[in-house]
Amino acid sequence: MYRRLLIIPFLLLVAAKGGKKGKETPPPEPTPVEVAPPPVEEAPPPPPPEPVVVRNASFNISFTFADGSTKSGHVIGVERGEDFNADQGWTTDENKLKLTLEVGTSEKNVAWSDVKSINIIPGKVPDDVDCTYSSDFNPWMYECTLRTTAQAVLKDGSKGNITTRNRWRFTFDDQSNFEFQVFKYTLREQDDKDVEYGSEQAENSGIYIKLQDRLRTDMKGGLIKSISVN
């Protein structure tokens, strides 16, 4: 009887130890998944602005070229280069849209609508050609200018020589543009070699030769010989 009593507490103690569980390790936290933000839809670029159509004139004009071809149309817009070659842009300033006419020893300014006809007489190549370059451009810009005589007859019957050298740009009914010169005829070409700062560079005489060859070609082709306005 005494042995049984000792065995029972021992079994109870073993059962108590065996039944006690150890501290459980918590499962690892899941690695957060990075969710990429939705793509940002870029707004489409705005449409290019509509070109501004100059409408400050109304007359008919016809150009006749050295090869006998012609270009005619109804002019709705007149612009003049701010400088000889329009490098500084175009102007519609009414005071600058007139032709300077030399009559004897005096000058007067006339509108294109006052002109009846213009006859352009070119000089000779190379005798009447002036060639130069401009270092304001990089690469340098070369140009050769053919001297011409532009004889104008006005609708009132008066005559004179035009001395306005700036380029002109006319806009026609179909909104096409035509650029031209009346007094003197200039061709230009930019060199293909950049000029390093502080370096000395000689003029590229080869470009002058090319420009004069182009002048000879234009004197038989695209050079304007006469203009009639009505």
Question: Is 21 inside a domain boundary?
Answer: no
Is 160 a residue whose pLDDT tops 60? yes
Which pLDDT belongs to residue 21? 52
Question: Is 12 inside a domain boundary?
Answer: no
Question: Is 20 inside a domain boundary?
Answer: no
Q: What is the mean pLDDT of residues 161-178?
A: 98
Higher pLDDT, 160 or 11: 160
Which pLDDT belongs to residue 3? 47
Question: Is 162 inside a domain boundary?
Answer: yes
Question: Is 3 inside a domain boundary?
Answer: no
The tens digit of pLDDT for each residue in 173-182 reads 999 999 999 9
Q: Could you tell me which residues come within 8 angstroms of residue 109 by beta carbon, excluding any fewer than 6 positions away?
A: 98, 99, 100, 101
Domain that holds residue 217: 59-195+202-229
The tens digit of pLDDT for each residue in 11-68 reads 444 444 555 555 567 777 777 777 777 888 888 888 888 778 999 999 999 999 999 9
Task: Give the total number of structural domains in the chain.
Answer: 1
Confidence of residue 89 (pLDDT cuts 50, 70, 90): very high
Question: Is 98 inside a domain boundary?
Answer: yes
Tokens in use for 116? 């009846």
Is 114 a residue whose pLDDT tops 90? yes
Question: Average pLDDT, whole number, for the chain?
Answer: 89
Q: What is the pTM of this model?
A: 0.77
Question: Is 8 inside a domain boundary?
Answer: no
Is 152 a residue whose pLDDT tops 70? yes
Question: Is 24 inside a domain boundary?
Answer: no
Is 8 a residue whose pLDDT tops 90? no
